[in-house]
Amino acid sequence: MTAIDTVALERVLDLLPSRYKGPGGVAGVVKDGQVIARRAWGYADMYQRLPMTAAARLPICSLSKQFTCALLLDQFDDLSKLDALVRDFIPDYRDSQPTVEQLCHNQSGLRDYWALTVLQGAEPEATFAREAALPLIARSKTGHFPAGTLYSYNNANFRILGELIERGTERALGDLLAKRIFSPAGMKTAELAADTRFPLDGVVGYEGNDDVGFLPAQNGVYWFGDAGIAASLDDLLAWEMYIDATRNDPGSLYNRISAPVTYADGSPASYGYGLRRDIISGIKVTGHGGGLRGFSSFRLHAAEERLSVVVMFNHDTSTFTAATTVLNAALGLQVDTACIRPENWDGLWLDEEQGLVVRTVQDISGIKLYYAPSPARLAVSADGVARGHALTLKKDGATLVMLRESENLQVIGRPLTPIEWADGAAIAGRYWSEELEAHLDIEVRDGAAYALFKGMLGTGPMERMYALAEDIWIVTTRRSMDAAPPGDWTVQVQRDAAGLVCGLTIGCWLARNIHYQRDCAREL
Protein backbone atom coordinates (compact mmCIF):
# COMPACT_ATOMS: atom_id res chain seq x y z
CA MET A 1 0.00 0.00 0.00
CA THR A 2 1.15 3.50 -0.85
CA ALA A 3 1.80 6.02 1.91
CA ILE A 4 -0.27 9.19 1.90
CA ASP A 5 1.29 12.36 0.53
CA THR A 6 -0.12 14.60 3.25
CA VAL A 7 1.25 17.85 1.85
CA ALA A 8 -0.18 17.25 -1.63
CA LEU A 9 -3.51 16.09 -0.18
CA GLU A 10 -3.90 19.15 2.04
CA ARG A 11 -3.05 21.47 -0.84
CA VAL A 12 -5.60 19.90 -3.19
CA LEU A 13 -8.31 20.02 -0.53
CA ASP A 14 -7.51 23.68 0.13
CA LEU A 15 -7.88 24.42 -3.57
CA LEU A 16 -11.28 22.71 -4.06
CA PRO A 17 -13.36 25.86 -3.37
CA SER A 18 -11.46 27.89 -5.98
CA ARG A 19 -11.17 25.14 -8.58
CA TYR A 20 -14.83 24.07 -8.32
CA LYS A 21 -16.51 27.41 -7.84
CA GLY A 22 -19.92 27.49 -6.26
CA PRO A 23 -21.95 28.12 -3.12
CA GLY A 24 -20.51 25.31 -1.00
CA GLY A 25 -19.22 21.78 -0.70
CA VAL A 26 -17.76 19.05 1.46
CA ALA A 27 -14.96 16.54 0.94
CA GLY A 28 -13.37 13.82 3.01
CA VAL A 29 -10.78 11.07 2.84
CA VAL A 30 -10.61 7.74 4.67
CA LYS A 31 -7.33 5.77 4.85
CA ASP A 32 -6.90 2.43 6.62
CA GLY A 33 -10.31 2.80 8.22
CA GLN A 34 -9.74 6.27 9.67
CA VAL A 35 -10.78 9.75 8.54
CA ILE A 36 -7.57 11.55 7.66
CA ALA A 37 -9.08 14.68 6.09
CA ARG A 38 -12.40 16.49 6.19
CA ARG A 39 -13.48 19.79 4.62
CA ALA A 40 -16.71 21.81 4.58
CA TRP A 41 -16.77 25.24 2.95
CA GLY A 42 -19.20 27.84 1.77
CA TYR A 43 -22.91 27.94 2.46
CA ALA A 44 -25.75 25.45 2.51
CA ASP A 45 -28.11 28.40 1.94
CA MET A 46 -26.58 31.61 0.63
CA TYR A 47 -29.72 33.68 1.20
CA GLN A 48 -30.09 32.61 4.83
CA ARG A 49 -26.31 32.62 5.35
CA LEU A 50 -26.44 29.02 6.61
CA PRO A 51 -22.90 27.57 6.65
CA MET A 52 -22.15 24.24 4.99
CA THR A 53 -20.98 21.64 7.52
CA ALA A 54 -19.88 18.02 7.55
CA ALA A 55 -23.15 17.23 9.38
CA ALA A 56 -25.45 18.83 6.80
CA ARG A 57 -27.41 16.25 4.80
CA LEU A 58 -27.35 16.59 1.02
CA PRO A 59 -29.08 14.47 -1.60
CA ILE A 60 -26.52 11.83 -2.55
CA CYS A 61 -28.47 11.22 -5.74
CA SER A 62 -27.35 8.14 -7.70
CA LEU A 63 -24.94 7.06 -4.97
CA SER A 64 -28.21 5.64 -3.62
CA LYS A 65 -28.09 2.87 -6.23
CA GLN A 66 -25.37 0.91 -4.41
CA PHE A 67 -27.42 1.00 -1.21
CA THR A 68 -30.49 -0.26 -3.08
CA CYS A 69 -28.47 -3.18 -4.44
CA ALA A 70 -26.82 -3.89 -1.07
CA LEU A 71 -30.26 -4.05 0.55
CA LEU A 72 -31.54 -6.30 -2.24
CA LEU A 73 -28.70 -8.78 -1.65
CA ASP A 74 -29.23 -8.52 2.10
CA GLN A 75 -32.92 -9.40 1.83
CA PHE A 76 -32.92 -12.04 -0.93
CA ASP A 77 -30.52 -14.98 -1.13
CA ASP A 78 -31.43 -15.85 -4.73
CA LEU A 79 -32.28 -12.89 -6.94
CA SER A 80 -33.45 -15.16 -9.75
CA LYS A 81 -36.55 -15.96 -7.72
CA LEU A 82 -37.66 -12.38 -8.36
CA ASP A 83 -37.14 -12.51 -12.14
CA ALA A 84 -40.72 -13.43 -12.93
CA LEU A 85 -41.95 -10.29 -11.16
CA VAL A 86 -40.11 -8.00 -13.60
CA ARG A 87 -42.87 -8.62 -16.15
CA ASP A 88 -45.32 -6.82 -13.83
CA PHE A 89 -43.46 -3.57 -14.46
CA ILE A 90 -43.09 -3.90 -18.26
CA PRO A 91 -46.19 -5.91 -19.27
CA ASP A 92 -46.08 -4.85 -22.95
CA TYR A 93 -42.34 -5.32 -23.46
CA ARG A 94 -41.67 -7.28 -26.67
CA ASP A 95 -37.88 -7.69 -26.41
CA SER A 96 -36.05 -10.15 -24.17
CA GLN A 97 -37.09 -9.62 -20.55
CA PRO A 98 -34.19 -8.60 -18.29
CA THR A 99 -33.36 -10.47 -15.12
CA VAL A 100 -33.10 -8.77 -11.74
CA GLU A 101 -29.31 -9.05 -11.89
CA GLN A 102 -29.30 -7.38 -15.30
CA LEU A 103 -31.29 -4.53 -13.78
CA CYS A 104 -28.62 -4.23 -11.07
CA HIS A 105 -25.89 -4.13 -13.71
CA ASN A 106 -27.56 -1.63 -16.11
CA GLN A 107 -27.74 -4.38 -18.72
CA SER A 108 -31.53 -4.45 -19.09
CA GLY A 109 -31.66 -2.67 -22.45
CA LEU A 110 -34.56 -0.52 -21.20
CA ARG A 111 -34.59 3.17 -22.02
CA ASP A 112 -34.04 5.62 -19.18
CA TYR A 113 -37.36 6.87 -17.86
CA TRP A 114 -35.97 10.26 -16.79
CA ALA A 115 -34.88 10.98 -20.36
CA LEU A 116 -38.32 9.89 -21.55
CA THR A 117 -40.01 12.47 -19.32
CA VAL A 118 -38.87 15.03 -21.91
CA LEU A 119 -40.66 13.17 -24.72
CA GLN A 120 -43.70 12.72 -22.47
CA GLY A 121 -44.19 16.46 -22.18
CA ALA A 122 -42.80 17.16 -18.71
CA GLU A 123 -41.91 20.68 -17.65
CA PRO A 124 -38.49 20.86 -15.93
CA GLU A 125 -39.87 22.23 -12.63
CA ALA A 126 -43.04 20.16 -12.55
CA THR A 127 -43.86 17.78 -9.73
CA PHE A 128 -43.22 14.11 -10.52
CA ALA A 129 -45.04 12.06 -7.88
CA ARG A 130 -44.24 8.49 -6.88
CA GLU A 131 -47.30 7.14 -8.67
CA ALA A 132 -46.20 8.66 -12.01
CA ALA A 133 -43.11 6.48 -12.44
CA LEU A 134 -44.49 3.00 -12.93
CA PRO A 135 -47.07 3.91 -15.62
CA LEU A 136 -44.29 5.64 -17.56
CA ILE A 137 -41.99 2.62 -17.28
CA ALA A 138 -44.89 0.29 -18.15
CA ARG A 139 -45.21 1.90 -21.60
CA SER A 140 -41.90 0.28 -22.60
CA LYS A 141 -42.36 -1.97 -25.64
CA THR A 142 -38.83 -2.23 -27.05
CA GLY A 143 -35.32 -1.56 -25.76
CA HIS A 144 -31.86 -0.48 -26.83
CA PHE A 145 -30.42 -3.98 -27.11
CA PRO A 146 -31.04 -7.59 -25.99
CA ALA A 147 -30.77 -7.83 -22.23
CA GLY A 148 -27.32 -8.80 -20.99
CA THR A 149 -25.36 -7.86 -24.11
CA LEU A 150 -24.40 -4.22 -23.47
CA TYR A 151 -24.41 -1.52 -20.80
CA SER A 152 -26.70 1.49 -20.79
CA TYR A 153 -27.27 3.71 -17.78
CA ASN A 154 -30.93 3.58 -16.81
CA ASN A 155 -32.60 4.86 -13.67
CA ALA A 156 -35.70 2.74 -14.35
CA ASN A 157 -33.67 -0.38 -13.52
CA PHE A 158 -33.20 0.77 -9.95
CA ARG A 159 -36.70 2.17 -9.60
CA ILE A 160 -37.98 -1.33 -10.34
CA LEU A 161 -35.52 -2.79 -7.81
CA GLY A 162 -36.81 -0.47 -5.10
CA GLU A 163 -40.36 -1.56 -5.79
CA LEU A 164 -39.32 -5.24 -5.84
CA ILE A 165 -37.73 -4.88 -2.39
CA GLU A 166 -40.92 -3.48 -0.91
CA ARG A 167 -43.14 -6.07 -2.58
CA GLY A 168 -40.89 -8.96 -1.64
CA THR A 169 -40.41 -7.95 2.00
CA GLU A 170 -43.69 -6.12 2.67
CA ARG A 171 -41.57 -3.50 4.40
CA ALA A 172 -40.99 0.16 3.58
CA LEU A 173 -37.74 0.78 1.68
CA GLY A 174 -36.75 3.63 3.99
CA ASP A 175 -37.23 1.54 7.13
CA LEU A 176 -35.20 -1.34 5.71
CA LEU A 177 -32.36 0.95 4.65
CA ALA A 178 -32.24 2.48 8.13
CA LYS A 179 -32.22 -0.87 9.93
CA ARG A 180 -30.10 -3.02 7.62
CA ILE A 181 -27.66 -0.52 6.08
CA PHE A 182 -27.43 2.84 7.82
CA SER A 183 -27.47 1.66 11.44
CA PRO A 184 -24.84 -1.11 11.09
CA ALA A 185 -22.60 1.26 9.11
CA GLY A 186 -22.85 4.05 11.68
CA MET A 187 -24.58 6.41 9.25
CA LYS A 188 -26.40 8.13 12.07
CA THR A 189 -28.36 10.75 10.16
CA ALA A 190 -28.79 9.22 6.68
CA GLU A 191 -32.36 8.59 5.55
CA LEU A 192 -34.51 8.03 2.51
CA ALA A 193 -35.77 11.52 1.67
CA ALA A 194 -37.44 10.67 -1.61
CA ASP A 195 -39.36 13.89 -2.24
CA THR A 196 -36.89 16.49 -3.47
CA ARG A 197 -39.33 19.32 -2.83
CA PHE A 198 -38.39 19.07 0.83
CA PRO A 199 -34.57 19.06 1.23
CA LEU A 200 -33.22 18.30 4.69
CA ASP A 201 -31.30 20.55 7.07
CA GLY A 202 -32.08 23.70 5.10
CA VAL A 203 -29.61 22.81 2.35
CA VAL A 204 -30.33 24.49 -0.98
CA GLY A 205 -29.02 23.34 -4.34
CA TYR A 206 -28.00 25.98 -6.89
CA GLU A 207 -28.03 26.20 -10.66
CA GLY A 208 -25.63 28.42 -12.57
CA ASN A 209 -21.96 29.34 -12.51
CA ASP A 210 -19.71 32.30 -11.83
CA ASP A 211 -20.40 33.71 -15.30
CA VAL A 212 -24.17 33.97 -14.92
CA GLY A 213 -24.51 33.71 -11.14
CA PHE A 214 -26.22 31.14 -8.95
CA LEU A 215 -29.96 30.74 -8.37
CA PRO A 216 -31.78 28.24 -6.12
CA ALA A 217 -32.74 25.13 -8.08
CA GLN A 218 -36.34 23.97 -8.19
CA ASN A 219 -36.84 20.22 -7.87
CA GLY A 220 -40.13 18.35 -7.82
CA VAL A 221 -39.02 14.76 -8.34
CA TYR A 222 -39.79 11.75 -6.16
CA TRP A 223 -36.78 9.41 -6.21
CA PHE A 224 -37.11 5.82 -5.07
CA GLY A 225 -34.39 3.19 -5.45
CA ASP A 226 -32.59 5.05 -8.24
CA ALA A 227 -31.87 7.97 -5.87
CA GLY A 228 -33.57 9.54 -2.86
CA ILE A 229 -31.12 9.05 0.01
CA ALA A 230 -29.89 12.12 1.86
CA ALA A 231 -26.70 11.86 3.89
CA SER A 232 -24.06 14.07 5.42
CA LEU A 233 -20.35 13.90 4.71
CA ASP A 234 -19.97 12.32 8.16
CA ASP A 235 -22.50 9.65 7.17
CA LEU A 236 -20.67 8.79 3.97
CA LEU A 237 -17.30 8.71 5.68
CA ALA A 238 -18.83 6.29 8.20
CA TRP A 239 -19.87 4.12 5.24
CA GLU A 240 -16.30 4.15 3.95
CA MET A 241 -14.97 3.18 7.39
CA TYR A 242 -17.54 0.37 7.55
CA ILE A 243 -16.36 -0.89 4.17
CA ASP A 244 -12.81 -1.02 5.49
CA ALA A 245 -13.82 -2.69 8.77
CA THR A 246 -15.61 -5.49 6.85
CA ARG A 247 -13.02 -5.80 4.07
CA ASN A 248 -11.88 -9.30 5.07
CA ASP A 249 -15.41 -10.73 5.22
CA PRO A 250 -16.27 -12.29 1.83
CA GLY A 251 -19.95 -12.04 2.75
CA SER A 252 -19.89 -8.34 3.61
CA LEU A 253 -22.34 -6.28 1.62
CA TYR A 254 -19.71 -4.12 -0.05
CA ASN A 255 -17.61 -7.12 -1.05
CA ARG A 256 -20.73 -8.63 -2.60
CA ILE A 257 -21.78 -5.54 -4.56
CA SER A 258 -18.22 -4.78 -5.69
CA ALA A 259 -17.46 -8.35 -6.84
CA PRO A 260 -16.69 -8.89 -10.55
CA VAL A 261 -19.70 -9.07 -12.87
CA THR A 262 -20.05 -10.17 -16.50
CA TYR A 263 -22.25 -9.82 -19.52
CA ALA A 264 -24.40 -12.74 -20.67
CA ASP A 265 -21.54 -14.05 -22.86
CA GLY A 266 -19.18 -14.17 -19.88
CA SER A 267 -17.10 -11.12 -20.81
CA PRO A 268 -16.26 -8.82 -17.90
CA ALA A 269 -18.49 -5.81 -17.22
CA SER A 270 -17.37 -2.55 -15.64
CA TYR A 271 -20.65 -1.81 -13.86
CA GLY A 272 -22.59 -3.92 -11.41
CA TYR A 273 -24.86 -3.62 -8.37
CA GLY A 274 -24.93 0.18 -8.57
CA LEU A 275 -21.13 0.54 -8.72
CA ARG A 276 -18.68 1.37 -11.45
CA ARG A 277 -15.46 -0.61 -11.61
CA ASP A 278 -12.73 1.70 -12.87
CA ILE A 279 -8.99 2.07 -13.20
CA ILE A 280 -7.95 5.63 -12.39
CA SER A 281 -4.28 6.54 -12.71
CA GLY A 282 -3.47 2.82 -12.61
CA ILE A 283 -5.44 2.28 -9.38
CA LYS A 284 -8.42 -0.10 -9.25
CA VAL A 285 -11.43 1.67 -7.79
CA THR A 286 -15.13 1.18 -7.29
CA GLY A 287 -17.45 4.13 -7.04
CA HIS A 288 -20.34 6.13 -8.37
CA GLY A 289 -21.44 9.67 -9.03
CA GLY A 290 -24.75 11.39 -8.68
CA GLY A 291 -26.57 14.54 -9.56
CA LEU A 292 -29.83 16.31 -8.92
CA ARG A 293 -30.52 19.78 -10.18
CA GLY A 294 -28.33 21.91 -7.92
CA PHE A 295 -26.37 19.02 -6.39
CA SER A 296 -23.44 16.84 -7.41
CA SER A 297 -21.67 13.99 -5.60
CA PHE A 298 -19.02 11.35 -6.15
CA ARG A 299 -17.41 8.67 -4.02
CA LEU A 300 -14.69 6.19 -4.88
CA HIS A 301 -12.97 3.39 -3.01
CA ALA A 302 -9.54 1.93 -3.77
CA ALA A 303 -9.68 -1.41 -1.91
CA GLU A 304 -6.03 -2.36 -2.37
CA GLU A 305 -4.93 1.01 -1.03
CA ARG A 306 -7.62 1.04 1.69
CA LEU A 307 -8.42 4.57 0.56
CA SER A 308 -11.78 6.28 -0.01
CA VAL A 309 -12.68 9.76 -1.24
CA VAL A 310 -16.05 11.52 -0.95
CA VAL A 311 -16.94 14.87 -2.56
CA MET A 312 -20.34 16.65 -2.56
CA PHE A 313 -21.33 20.10 -3.84
CA ASN A 314 -24.60 22.01 -3.61
CA HIS A 315 -24.06 23.11 -7.21
CA ASP A 316 -23.61 21.20 -10.45
CA THR A 317 -19.86 20.90 -10.98
CA SER A 318 -17.74 17.85 -11.76
CA THR A 319 -17.34 15.98 -8.51
CA PHE A 320 -15.79 13.11 -10.47
CA THR A 321 -12.86 15.32 -11.48
CA ALA A 322 -12.60 16.67 -7.95
CA ALA A 323 -12.61 13.18 -6.38
CA THR A 324 -10.02 11.76 -8.79
CA THR A 325 -7.80 14.80 -8.21
CA VAL A 326 -7.98 14.18 -4.46
CA LEU A 327 -7.20 10.48 -5.00
CA ASN A 328 -4.14 11.28 -7.11
CA ALA A 329 -2.87 13.83 -4.60
CA ALA A 330 -3.35 11.49 -1.63
CA LEU A 331 -1.32 8.76 -3.34
CA GLY A 332 1.29 11.16 -4.70
CA LEU A 333 0.47 10.24 -8.29
CA GLN A 334 1.55 12.39 -11.22
CA VAL A 335 -0.98 12.24 -14.04
CA ASP A 336 0.49 12.10 -17.53
CA THR A 337 -1.13 14.90 -19.50
CA ALA A 338 1.07 14.62 -22.58
CA CYS A 339 -0.95 15.44 -25.68
CA ILE A 340 -0.15 16.51 -29.20
CA ARG A 341 -2.14 19.29 -30.82
CA PRO A 342 -4.99 17.65 -32.74
CA GLU A 343 -5.37 18.24 -36.45
CA ASN A 344 -8.40 17.60 -38.65
CA TRP A 345 -10.49 16.36 -35.71
CA ASP A 346 -13.46 18.67 -36.15
CA GLY A 347 -16.10 16.34 -37.51
CA LEU A 348 -19.64 15.03 -37.67
CA TRP A 349 -20.62 11.37 -37.96
CA LEU A 350 -23.73 9.22 -37.58
CA ASP A 351 -23.78 6.12 -35.41
CA GLU A 352 -26.42 4.37 -37.51
CA GLU A 353 -26.91 1.43 -35.16
CA GLN A 354 -27.61 3.57 -32.09
CA GLY A 355 -29.21 6.33 -34.14
CA LEU A 356 -27.01 9.04 -32.63
CA VAL A 357 -24.88 11.86 -33.99
CA VAL A 358 -21.21 11.87 -33.00
CA ARG A 359 -19.58 15.29 -33.04
CA THR A 360 -15.98 16.22 -32.25
CA VAL A 361 -14.52 19.68 -31.71
CA GLN A 362 -10.77 20.19 -31.43
CA ASP A 363 -8.79 22.80 -29.51
CA ILE A 364 -5.13 23.17 -28.57
CA SER A 365 -5.41 20.76 -25.63
CA GLY A 366 -7.37 17.92 -27.24
CA ILE A 367 -10.83 16.96 -28.42
CA LYS A 368 -14.28 17.46 -26.97
CA LEU A 369 -16.65 14.62 -27.87
CA TYR A 370 -20.42 15.15 -28.01
CA TYR A 371 -22.29 11.84 -27.88
CA ALA A 372 -23.46 11.00 -24.34
CA PRO A 373 -25.31 13.48 -22.06
CA SER A 374 -22.12 15.28 -21.03
CA PRO A 375 -19.22 16.12 -23.38
CA ALA A 376 -16.08 14.03 -22.89
CA ARG A 377 -12.50 15.29 -23.12
CA LEU A 378 -9.90 13.26 -25.01
CA ALA A 379 -6.20 13.72 -25.65
CA VAL A 380 -4.56 12.84 -28.96
CA SER A 381 -1.46 10.67 -28.73
CA ALA A 382 1.45 10.45 -31.13
CA ASP A 383 -0.20 7.43 -32.81
CA GLY A 384 -3.11 9.65 -33.85
CA VAL A 385 -5.56 7.96 -31.50
CA ALA A 386 -7.68 10.07 -29.15
CA ARG A 387 -8.09 8.62 -25.67
CA GLY A 388 -10.23 9.53 -22.68
CA HIS A 389 -11.57 7.75 -19.63
CA ALA A 390 -12.64 4.27 -20.86
CA LEU A 391 -12.99 5.79 -24.32
CA THR A 392 -11.00 5.63 -27.56
CA LEU A 393 -11.48 7.38 -30.91
CA LYS A 394 -9.63 6.67 -34.10
CA LYS A 395 -10.19 7.25 -37.79
CA ASP A 396 -10.38 4.63 -40.51
CA GLY A 397 -10.30 6.79 -43.59
CA ALA A 398 -13.38 9.01 -43.32
CA THR A 399 -15.04 6.58 -40.89
CA LEU A 400 -14.86 7.13 -37.15
CA VAL A 401 -14.32 4.16 -34.86
CA MET A 402 -15.23 4.72 -31.23
CA LEU A 403 -14.62 2.13 -28.51
CA ARG A 404 -16.65 2.68 -25.34
CA GLU A 405 -15.06 0.13 -23.05
CA SER A 406 -17.38 0.58 -20.09
CA GLU A 407 -20.41 -0.08 -22.30
CA ASN A 408 -19.05 -3.09 -24.20
CA LEU A 409 -19.81 -1.03 -27.30
CA GLN A 410 -17.97 -0.30 -30.53
CA VAL A 411 -19.40 2.49 -32.65
CA ILE A 412 -18.83 2.88 -36.37
CA GLY A 413 -19.54 6.46 -37.41
CA ARG A 414 -20.51 7.30 -40.98
CA PRO A 415 -19.23 10.75 -41.96
CA LEU A 416 -21.82 13.47 -42.48
CA THR A 417 -21.49 16.65 -44.47
CA PRO A 418 -22.41 19.50 -42.12
CA ILE A 419 -24.86 22.20 -43.20
CA GLU A 420 -25.54 25.53 -41.56
CA TRP A 421 -29.26 25.68 -42.28
CA ALA A 422 -32.08 23.71 -43.85
CA ASP A 423 -35.63 24.61 -44.76
CA GLY A 424 -37.69 22.90 -42.10
CA ALA A 425 -41.00 23.25 -43.93
CA ALA A 426 -40.87 19.62 -45.04
CA ILE A 427 -40.67 18.29 -41.50
CA ALA A 428 -43.21 20.67 -39.92
CA GLY A 429 -46.30 18.93 -38.62
CA ARG A 430 -47.51 16.40 -36.08
CA TYR A 431 -45.99 12.98 -35.33
CA TRP A 432 -47.08 10.02 -33.21
CA SER A 433 -44.92 7.46 -31.38
CA GLU A 434 -46.55 4.09 -30.79
CA GLU A 435 -43.64 3.17 -28.50
CA LEU A 436 -44.33 6.10 -26.16
CA GLU A 437 -48.01 6.70 -26.95
CA ALA A 438 -47.07 10.36 -27.28
CA HIS A 439 -47.07 13.17 -29.84
CA LEU A 440 -44.44 15.50 -31.25
CA ASP A 441 -45.28 18.75 -32.98
CA ILE A 442 -42.65 20.50 -35.11
CA GLU A 443 -43.23 24.16 -35.86
CA VAL A 444 -41.20 26.18 -38.33
CA ARG A 445 -41.38 29.96 -38.49
CA ASP A 446 -39.17 32.28 -40.56
CA GLY A 447 -36.37 29.74 -40.79
CA ALA A 448 -36.42 28.64 -37.14
CA ALA A 449 -37.59 25.16 -36.12
CA TYR A 450 -38.90 24.09 -32.72
CA ALA A 451 -40.11 20.80 -31.24
CA LEU A 452 -43.00 20.44 -28.81
CA PHE A 453 -43.43 17.12 -26.97
CA LYS A 454 -46.87 16.07 -25.68
CA GLY A 455 -47.53 12.96 -23.63
CA MET A 456 -48.71 11.47 -20.38
CA LEU A 457 -46.98 14.21 -18.37
CA GLY A 458 -48.52 17.11 -20.28
CA THR A 459 -47.11 19.55 -22.81
CA GLY A 460 -43.47 20.49 -22.44
CA PRO A 461 -41.66 23.72 -23.33
CA MET A 462 -40.70 24.56 -26.88
CA GLU A 463 -37.33 22.97 -27.60
CA ARG A 464 -34.83 24.43 -30.06
CA MET A 465 -34.14 22.40 -33.19
CA TYR A 466 -31.24 22.74 -35.63
CA ALA A 467 -30.21 21.08 -38.88
CA LEU A 468 -26.80 19.37 -38.78
CA ALA A 469 -26.72 17.50 -42.10
CA GLU A 470 -29.14 16.44 -44.79
CA ASP A 471 -32.17 14.95 -43.00
CA ILE A 472 -30.30 15.03 -39.69
CA TRP A 473 -31.42 17.47 -36.98
CA ILE A 474 -30.85 17.87 -33.27
CA VAL A 475 -33.17 18.97 -30.50
CA THR A 476 -31.13 20.64 -27.76
CA THR A 477 -32.60 19.80 -24.37
CA ARG A 478 -30.62 21.74 -21.78
CA ARG A 479 -33.05 21.50 -18.87
CA SER A 480 -35.10 18.52 -17.74
CA MET A 481 -36.66 17.00 -14.63
CA ASP A 482 -33.56 14.93 -13.97
CA ALA A 483 -30.32 16.54 -12.81
CA ALA A 484 -28.35 16.27 -16.02
CA PRO A 485 -30.47 16.89 -19.13
CA PRO A 486 -30.33 14.06 -21.67
CA GLY A 487 -28.41 16.31 -24.04
CA ASP A 488 -28.92 16.52 -27.79
CA TRP A 489 -31.65 14.39 -29.31
CA THR A 490 -30.69 13.16 -32.76
CA VAL A 491 -33.59 13.44 -35.22
CA GLN A 492 -33.35 11.36 -38.40
CA VAL A 493 -35.87 12.20 -41.09
CA GLN A 494 -37.49 9.27 -42.88
CA ARG A 495 -38.89 9.63 -46.39
CA ASP A 496 -41.14 7.44 -48.52
CA ALA A 497 -40.48 6.32 -52.09
CA ALA A 498 -41.75 9.67 -53.38
CA GLY A 499 -39.29 11.56 -51.17
CA LEU A 500 -41.95 12.86 -48.82
CA VAL A 501 -41.34 12.93 -45.07
CA CYS A 502 -43.24 10.02 -43.50
CA GLY A 503 -41.65 9.76 -40.08
CA LEU A 504 -38.77 10.45 -37.72
CA THR A 505 -36.42 8.46 -35.53
CA ILE A 506 -35.41 10.28 -32.36
CA GLY A 507 -32.90 9.30 -29.71
CA CYS A 508 -30.29 10.34 -27.18
CA TRP A 509 -27.70 8.19 -25.41
CA LEU A 510 -30.18 7.35 -22.63
CA ALA A 511 -33.15 6.67 -24.90
CA ARG A 512 -32.32 5.59 -28.44
CA ASN A 513 -34.12 4.80 -31.70
CA ILE A 514 -37.66 5.90 -30.90
CA HIS A 515 -39.83 5.94 -34.01
CA TYR A 516 -42.44 8.58 -34.78
CA GLN A 517 -44.78 8.34 -37.76
CA ARG A 518 -46.36 11.33 -39.44
CA ASP A 519 -49.87 11.85 -38.12
CA CYS A 520 -51.47 13.26 -41.24
CA ALA A 521 -54.96 12.99 -39.77
CA ARG A 522 -54.00 15.46 -37.04
CA GLU A 523 -51.70 17.90 -38.79
CA LEU A 524 -51.27 21.30 -37.17
Tens digits of residue pLDDT in 449-476: 999 999 999 999 999 999 999 999 999 9
Do 429 and 448 meet the contact criterion of CB atoms below 8 Å apart?
Answer: no
> Is 233 found in the same domain as 174?
yes
342 falls within a domain: no
12 falls within a domain: yes
Do 263 and 107 meet the contact criterion of CB atoms below 8 Å apart?
Answer: yes
292 falls within a domain: yes
Give yes or no: 62 in active site: yes
Confidence band of 365 (pLDDT split at 50, 70, 90): confident
259-297: pLDDT as tens digits: 999 999 999 999 999 999 999 999 999 999 999 999 999
Asked whether residue 2 carries a pLDDT value surpassing 90, the answer given is no
CATH number of the domain to which 198 belongs: 3.40.710.10
- Contact residues for 61 (Cβ-Cβ < 8 A; gap 6+): 223, 227, 289, 290, 291, 292, 295, 296, 297, 483
E strands present in 46-80 = 50-51, 58-59
Strand 438-445 to 58-59 pairing: unpaired
- The total of other beta-carbon atoms located within 10 Å of residue 47's CB is 8
- Contact residues for 116 (Cβ-Cβ < 8 A; gap 6+): 136, 436, 511
Distances from the Cα of 87 to the Cα of 84, 92, 230, 434, angstroms: 6, 8, 30, 20
> Is 367 found in the same domain as 493?
no
SS3 71: helix
- The total of other beta-carbon atoms located within 10 Å of residue 499's CB is 8
End-to-end CA distance of the chain: 67
- Which of 18, 21, 31, 62 is flagged as catalytic? 62
If we measure between CA atoms, which residue out of 215, 271, 173, 202 comes closest to residue 56?
202
73-127: pLDDT as tens digits: 999 999 999 999 999 999 999 999 999 999 999 999 999 999 999 999 999 899 9
Distance CA 41, CA 44 (A): 9
E strands present in 32-102 = 34-45, 50-51, 58-59
E strands present in 34-147 = 34-45, 50-51, 58-59
Do 122 and 436 meet the contact criterion of CB atoms below 8 Å apart?
Answer: no
Of 16-25, 246-255, 339-348, which range is least confident?
Answer: 339-348
> Is 266 found in the same domain as 242?
yes
pLDDT at 479: 79
CA angle, 73 then 76 then 79, to 5° = 85
Residue 24: domain span = 6-109+144-330
Instruction: Count the residues in the chain.
Output: 524
If we measure between CA atoms, which residue out of 471, 507, 502, 504 comes closest to residue 489?
507
Sign of CA dihedral 246, 247, 251, 253: positive
Mean pLDDT (the chain, rounded):
94
pLDDT at 340: 81
Asked whether residue 25 carries a pLDDT value surpassing 80, the answer given is yes
Strand 386-388 to 391-396 pairing: antiparallel
CATH number of the domain to which 510 belongs: 2.40.128.50
> Is 371 found in the same domain as 312?
no
Which of 269, 303, 330 is the endpoint of a domain? Answer: 330
- Which of 31, 64, 65, 318 is flagged as catalytic? 65
Confidence band of 342 (pLDDT split at 50, 70, 90): confident
335 falls within a domain: no
> Is 473 found in the same domain as 384?
no
Strand 191-192 to 206-209 pairing: unpaired
Domains of the chain: total: 3
> Is 437 found in the same domain as 411?
no
Confidence band of 334 (pLDDT split at 50, 70, 90): confident
